[in-house]
Structure 1
Amino acid sequence: MNAPPTGSAVLWLDVDAETAGQRIDNFLFTRLKGVPKSHVYRILRSGEVRRNGGRVQPKDRLEAGDKIRIPPIRLAERETPEIPGRALRNRIEGNILHEDEDLLVINKPSGLAVHGGSGLSFGVIEGLREIRPEARFLELVHRLDRETSGCLLIAKKRSALRGLHEQFRGDEVKKVYLALLAGVWARNHWIVDAPLQKNVLQSGERLVKVARDGKPSVTEFRRRERYAQATLVEARPITGRTHQIRVHAQSMGHPVAGDERYGDENANRGLKQLGLKRLFLHSAATTLHHPRTGAVLKFEAPLPPELADFLNTLAR
């Protein structure tokens, strides 16, 4: 790993086959540790970062054999970088479910974003890069909503990321969520086949709705336990759309408990009085093929204590 160039030094980096396909901004974030993201974007916009002698955009993807020029970064221009606190790093480290040379799986806590942005200085991926400073490559394979907990996959190699993305596109990755739905759900099993359309508001907030001209979206729901005011279900997303389980649950008339965006305000108020303090949606299990060996792997994330304890307070 090269240190950020300072003074009059220019840093030249060669892109190898393992790094090919990565966005230039993510490539720079991992190579310029400690340099604020705002400054990385500044040198990209100004044209000071060059690829094979030409300008490059943050979203451009690298190719094997590219030569990247990184300009000197004057210390006077560098802000004091924000570093994830020790408590956050310990929280991430203590929730690692699996790690090998290709793949890392974490039981993501609720309330922790998967990455920084939108007013957040850092999330899971930034915390992992602090915990694993020797890692040349750490990238999210997929995302979980900030308030959703459970299995989150991180690739440690570009080849692993490509392989896992192919599995996601081919519907080879099987995910099971546990969700508490508001109200008593009379069915044992239901497959919701309802297209979803995503809208991004001016504030940057994502809002998803069922729409005839939306993208095909399918979720399978199976009842696990029926309570007096709610129903615990397994939700298996067949497709992988933004907020899919939450919007499909809403379309059934039984939104996910604690969902402030798509939920029922009265139901949420009653469940909150009983002790529910978060969205009751948890990625409990993920099954896939190892991206290098092809072996079938199943990762399971236990239900967080705050959700398990809440279920124990409900009357069946």
Structure 2
Amino acid sequence: MLARLLYRDALILVIDKPAGLPVHAGPGGGDNLEQYLDALRFGLPRVPSLAHRLDRDTSGCLVLGRHRKALAKLGRMFESKRVGKTYWAIVEGAPEQDSGTIDLALAKKSERKDRWHMKVDPDGMETVTDYRVRGRGPGIAWIEFNPRTGRTHQLRVHAQAMGWPIVGDQLYGSGGADGTLHLQSRAITLPLYPSRDPVHVEAPPPPHMLERLRQCGWEPT
């Protein structure tokens, strides 16, 4: 966990969450991120807590609050949509336009008590995503997403609804890529301090996305 620490100050930590690890324990228990947060106390009496969530299969920037006041401040920032979020994804196919906005309301649909998914629904919650094509490859594209809202599975459902599902998405796409979701929380920007520039943190691309990123023109810096 220490090796995944991207940023630390008196209020927050930002870590690089690995793909495949849920942030909370599920109903049946099992390995989860919260089990490892004690290693990030850095002398404080309280274990840091999650300020927001990422899906189990999404990797990248995840913000933790180091104490109650920090968590309250972060909660207000996320609720008021003042946190800038940037995601990278590899999708099957590609948008016709190099940039645009997806404005499709979403609602939660339950198949049974323990199974559910999100679905485009005109009567659902307002859900808006800006996107930009960063590169194109053979049958795939590298997309940068900037969600304006924070709905569950927002980017995955929006990409699927547009006809270019995210590579490795077993719920909303065709699976493939060994079932590893090619979606990363690439960067996060937090206006934490009134007299300072916003805190901006980036995570390195995860290993499972590197091959397809290169096919789309990405080069390490």
Equivalence for 2:14: 105
Q: Is it true that 1:93 corresponds to 2:16 in the alignment?
A: no
Aligned residue pairs total 217
Change (3 A) 1:283 1:193: same
2: CA distance, partners of 1:141 / 1:241 = 15
Higher strand residue share: 2
Trace 1:129-144 onto structure 2 (pairs within 5 A): 129-130=38-39, 132=41, 134-144=44-54
- In the TM superposition, residue 313 of structure 1 has moved relative to its aligned partner by 5.3
2: CA distance, partners of 1:143 / 1:228 = 32
Structure 1: 4+ residue segments shifted above 4 A: 291-295, 313-316
1: CA distance, partners of 2:202 / 2:69 = 24
1: CA distance, partners of 2:162 / 2:2 = 38
Contact 1:109 1:149 in 2 (8 A): yes
What TM-score do the two structures reach when normalised by structure 2? 0.89
What TM-score do the two structures reach when normalised by structure 1? 0.64
Higher relative contact order (CA 8 A, sep 6+): 2
Q: CA RMSD in A?
A: 2.3
Q: Is it true that 1:124 corresponds to 2:41 in the alignment?
A: no
Change (3 A) 1:127 1:208: same
2: CA distance, partners of 1:118 / 1:201 = 18
Q: Which of 170, 182, 187 is equivalent to 1:280?
A: 182
Contact 2:135 2:216 in 1 (8 A): no
Equivalence for 1:156: 66
- 2:153 partner letter: H
Contact 1:228 1:315 in 2 (8 A): no
Equivalence for 1:248: 158
Unpaired segments ≥5 residues, structure 2:
none
Unpaired segments ≥5 residues, structure 1:
1-91
2: CA distance, partners of 1:174 / 1:93 = 24
Q: Which of 215, 221, 227 is equivalent to 2:137?
A: 227
Task: Give the structure with higher Rg (CA).
Answer: 1
Trace 1:1-316 onto structure 2 (pairs within 5 A): 92-130=1-39, 132=41, 134-263=44-173, 265=174, 268-269=175-176, 272=177, 278-290=180-192, 295-312=197-214
Change (3 A) 1:110 1:179: same
Change (3 A) 1:98 1:292: farther
Percent of counterpart pairs with the same letter? 37
Contact 2:88 2:184 in 1 (8 A): yes
Change (3 A) 1:247 1:115: same
1: CA distance, partners of 2:129 / 2:191 = 22
